[in-house]
């Protein structure tokens, strides 16, 4: 093994990124080195690539991008006992501290001292990536690498839907980017009786129908709230999965959900959001929950089982490119004419 590897690096506090040769990371006693087989691009990667306000406030170049991946272990640290060369793995990208209140009570996904791969630490858009042994997840050997890397965003969808009685429920999914699409699929295989998907993007509404949305609504053409009230006979939906980050869609969701309903918030608004808490939350007895990451590893067990059986996650993949084609990949993402994009290093 050479001492150098290929990596997609954010080098400067400015838009863009560069493919370059960098040192293969050295391992601490509890770390492993994984040879990357497949990666996928997250919206977060696009924000960093574009160098938006959030990225500027959070990222300190140089850093290797990427956090969704699958691959094989090629080296293990001196104290690693449970993992072995050749193990086929994916990884939980939130590297939690292990000692804060949240970590010690089973909520490491909202650790107060969390580092995130591809954000604070060198990521996986590279030939190799270094991972603490506690962050590894063993994949079923027959799971294709391009599906295995998707367990990170599918896990977001699984966590967002975890607090609802899925069987029989009606669900509104606002925002049909990849996580909205996975959420649609996860609801369908969990027994949801009807899924309403909302987006401006017709390309993505078409994908939502493939994933199991029975009714897709483009707000440019129809009022989502009115359509849902009509179609549910005045009941409203049981749950809203807010995956867009849009104030307008969240307001729609709060109007469309029935009294006592549940709203999962996963889409990240760019600015403050204005809500009519009195009429839309308090009098209705609504519960809103912020969804961050995945429960470690409860969500992974569920996700792993779903991608191995009922959920056809591959339907969301619309493009497969080489890591070197990253400029085209980010350009496609920017256009919105895509589901999930796989990058092969």
The only residue of 115, 120, 134, 315 in contact with its own copies, by rule CB under 8 A: 134
Question: Taking the C-alpha atoms of 261, 267, 270 and 273 in order, what is their torsion angle to the nearest 10 degrees?
Answer: 0
Does the CA dihedral 144-41-33-113 come out positive or negative? negative
Backbone angles phi, psi at 34, to 5 degrees: -115, 130
CA-to-CA distance for 39 and 148, rounded, in angstroms? Answer: 9
Contact criterion met (CB below 8 Å) for 312 and 321: no
- 68: which strand partners? 40
The only residue of 186, 237, 323, 343 in contact with its own copies, by rule CB under 8 A: 186
CA-to-CA distance for 33 and 49, rounded, in angstroms? Answer: 25
DSSP state of 117: B
Contact criterion met (CB below 8 Å) for 7 and 20: yes
Nearer to its own copies, 256 or 338 (CB): 256
Query: What residues from 6 to 65 belong to the interface with its own copies (CB under 8 A)?
Result: 29
Minimum distance from CB of 154 to its own copies (Å)? 11
Nearer to its own copies, 93 or 343 (CB): 93
The only residue of 27, 189, 222, 321 in contact with its own copies, by rule CB under 8 A: 189
Q: Considering the rule CB under 8 A, would residue 321 count as an interface residue with its own copies? A: no
The only residue of 145, 178, 190, 212 in contact with its own copies, by rule CB under 8 A: 190
Minimum distance from CB of 182 to its own copies (Å)? 13
Query: What residues from 255 to 314 belong to the interface with its own copies (CB under 8 A)?
Result: 258-260, 265-266, 268-270, 272-278, 281-292, 295-298, 300-306, 308-310
Q: Considering the rule CB under 8 A, would residue 164 count as an interface residue with its own copies? A: no
Q: Which two tokens stand for residue 138?
A: 């063993």
Task: Tell me the site size for its own copies, rule CB under 8 A.
Answer: 72
Q: Considering the rule CB under 8 A, would residue 3 count as an interface residue with its own copies? A: no
- 215: which strand partners? 196
Nearer to its own copies, 33 or 296 (CB): 296
Query: What residues from 194 to 253 belong to the interface with its own copies (CB under 8 A)?
Result: 235, 245, 250
Active site residue 67: no
Coil, helix or strand at residue 294? coil
Selected catalytic residue, list 39, 44, 183, 216: 44
Selected catalytic residue, list 39, 47, 184, 303: 47
Contact mark string toward its own copies, 80..119, x via CB under 8 A: --x---------------xx-xx-xxxx-xxxx-------
3: exposed, middle or buried (Cβ count in 10 Å: 0-12, 13-18, 19+): exposed
- 5: which strand partners? 22
CA-to-CA distance for 129 and 75, rounded, in angstroms? Answer: 11
Minimum distance from CB of 177 to its own copies (Å)? 15
Active site residue 161: no
Contact criterion met (CB below 8 Å) for 189 and 303: no
Minimum distance from CB of 308 to its own copies (Å)? 7
Active site residues: 44, 47
């Amino acid at each position: 093994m050479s001492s150098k590897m290929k990596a997609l690096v954010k080098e400067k506090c400015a838009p863009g990124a560069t493919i370059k040769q960098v040192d293969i990371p050295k391992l601490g006693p509890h770390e492993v080195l994984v040879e990357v087989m497949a990666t996928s691009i997250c919206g977060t990667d696009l924000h960093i690539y574009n160098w938006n306000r959030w990225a500027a406030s959070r990222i300190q170049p140089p850093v290797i991008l990427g956090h969704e991946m699958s691959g094989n272990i090629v080296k293990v640290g001196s104290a690693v006992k449970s993992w072995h060369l050749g193990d086929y793995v994916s990884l939980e990208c939130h590297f939690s501290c292990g000692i804060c209140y949240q970590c010690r009570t089973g909520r490491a996904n909202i650790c107060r001292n969390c580092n995130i791969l591809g954000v604070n630490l060198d990521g996986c858009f590279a030939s190799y990536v270094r991972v603490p042994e506690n962050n590894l997840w063993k994949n079923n050997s027959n799971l294709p690498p391009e599906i295995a890397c998707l367990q990170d965003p599918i896990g977001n969808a699984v966590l967002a839907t975890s607090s609802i009685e899925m069987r029989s429920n009606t669900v509104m999914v606002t925002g049909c980017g990849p996580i909205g699409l996975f959420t649609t699929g996860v609801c369908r295989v969990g027994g949801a009786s009807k899924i309403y998907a909302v987006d401006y993007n017709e390309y993505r509404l078409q994908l939502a129908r493939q994933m199991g949305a029975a009714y897709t609504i483009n707000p440019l053409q129809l009022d989502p709230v009115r359509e849902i009230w009509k179609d549910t006979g005045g009941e409203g939906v049981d749950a809203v999965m807010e995956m867009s980050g849009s104030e307008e869609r969240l307001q729609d969701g709060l109007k469309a959900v029935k009294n006592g309903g549940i709203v999962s918030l996963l889409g990240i608004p760019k600015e403050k959001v204005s809500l009519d808490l009195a009429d839309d939350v308090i009098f209705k007895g609504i519960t809103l929950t912020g969804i961050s990451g995945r429960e470690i590893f409860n969500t992974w067990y569920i996700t792993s089982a779903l991608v191995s059986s009922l959920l056809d996650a591959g339907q969301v993949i619309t493009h497969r490119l080489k890591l070197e084609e990253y400029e085209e990949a980010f350009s496609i993402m920017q256009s919105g004419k895509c589901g999930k994009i796989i990058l092969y290093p």
